[in-house]
A and B are shown apart, each in its own frame.
Chain A
Amino acid sequence: MILTAELIYALTGVGLFGMGLRGALLRRSLLGRILAINICGAGVFLLLVAISYTGPGVAPDALPHALVLTGIVVAVSATALALALGRRLRETARE
């Protein structure tokens, strides 16, 4: 098998997913875990972007892009919620 550009991207995506998964399961700190989950998501998004490449000069498949955009929105809001909860946790700890 030849290592084409999109294959490299896809494999990087899989690698990022694995790294994120490992971090999310093993990290103790909240911030570390949130970041790890985001890396995990970035891996999936990269994979989706890589597979939409259909060849030089051809318009890429649009559907995965829509999926990635939706996914990013979801990931951002989830991260915001996690950070807000984390802050509330610290505030209650201080009281």
Chain B
Amino acid sequence: MLTTLSTLLATGLLLWQVAHQGRQIHALGGWDPGLGIALRADPLAAALLLMSSLVALAAGWYATGYFTDDARQSRFWPIWLSLITALHALFLSADLFNLYVTLELLGLSAVALAALGAGRAAIEASLRYLTVGLLGSMAFLAGVALIYIRYGTLDMLSLSQLIHPGPATWLALGLMSAGLMLKSALFPLHFWLPPAHANAPAPVSAALSALVVKAAVYLMMRLWLDLFQPTISPAASWLLGLLGATAVLWGSWSALRAQRLKLLAAYSTVAQLGYLFIFFPLLMALPAGQPRDAAFGALVLMALTHAFAKSALFLAAGTIQQHAGHDRIADLGGTARALPVTTFTLALAGAALIGLPPSGAFLAKWQLLSTAIGLGQWIWVPAVAIGSLLAAAYIFRLLGYTFGTRDRDALALVDGYESLPALLLAIIATAVLGLGAALVWQFVAPGALVTEAPL
């Protein structure tokens, strides 16, 4: 157990270093693309790697105290490590088939982790998660096969030189996107996400909501904004944007109506992923240049903020569930007094999810709105505004209950140690990413979408 923990720490540190080197080198690795497996770390991949290492580190730290019995803990660690391996390999892959393999690895380990949750509901949810994930991968694989038939290569760098519009390209993109939309739970394909994420153990929910769905979104970004970008019509990206806007509204509304804290967090994930897809039509409409870089930076910032905020929210929810024995929102009275650090974490993470000023999401949404207005795409403005208001409503509803006085069995004041990982994540989401947002922009934006020539 200690070994796995130290491996985890080492992985986190190592990847942190890689991320830092990737900053300068731009394209890392790339041994014999074609038959060999090429790895590439550009700023986008490096930023997401850093994000996933940090979240995984915090969630792993939290997990040491979360799993009380040895049997579950010994089952948790191997799958957890394979999940992180798959995730990092996916971010670094530069070839479409390799992406399929890592996507499958990620899906399988995510399902196995979700099934660790207690009881029948968790198993049922993870089975549905598995079948949905498999269907998504099959569609993705069919798209990969079509690309190979059409272009004779799967390496993304050489592919980007060859790609041109045509029915085969569109069909391939359609199949791959359908698979990824299923995996990234874009409305109306989100039905599997809330039960799977809400019934998993807390550290697993944090990783699933913050990282695993991001992997599919990352692939969508790669495909739509990078590889296939010259072949996509604006109408198709509008479809993505509209689905995203519906997801924002519907997810936020469902989160507001959720009876359980973890279900609230899961529905909020559906909504927050919607924002990411609203960026797609905007980025399609912008010509290459500074405004497009700014909008792209905002998209990355939004994804990062959500990862940290949502994992913090899930970890805090896990602490509350362990102490209160349940996570029914209406019965959370007295939590603020018994678990002050955890409640503070909830509030901080909530501020980042709503998009209140110091958080990264505030800047990202600001950029989103000003870009939308600048382009005359007014339709996204009400969706973002109403979504943020609904987010404020569900977060304040939750906080209102935790500050309530229905204190049945006078919980004792609990040491804040176990809430520390969650608190750190929430601080990153609100303060660090907000104040350090300029760095994200500088790091990710310039030339991030320009695919460089093959090495």
Contact = CB atoms under 8 A, between A and B. Distances in A.
Interface in A45-70: 47-48, 51, 63-64, 67, 70
Contact of B142 (A24, A25, A44, A74): A44
A63 B142 contact: no
Interface residues of B, number: 30
A51 B97 contact: no
Nearest to A25: B135
A2 interface: no
Contacts of A47: 142, 145, 149
B24 interface: no
Contact of A78 (B119, B123, B134): B134
Given A41-B138, A74-B104, A81 B130 contact: yes
Interface in B92-130: 97, 100-101, 104, 107-108, 111-112, 115, 119-120, 123-124, 126-127, 130
B104 A17 contact: no
A47 B146 CA distance: 9
- Most interface-central of A20, A33, A86 (chain B CB within 10 A): A33
Nearest to B96: A67
B440 interface: no
A25 B182 CA distance: 13
A44 B141 contact: yes
A85 B134 contact: no
Contact of A17 (B119, B137, B142): B142
Nearest to A82: B130
B101 A70 contact: yes
Given A81-B130, A82-B134, 14 more contacts: A30-B127, A40-B135, A41-B138, A41-B141, A44-B138, A51-B148, A63-B35, A71-B100, A81-B111, A82-B127, A82-B130, A89-B123, A89-B124, A92-B123
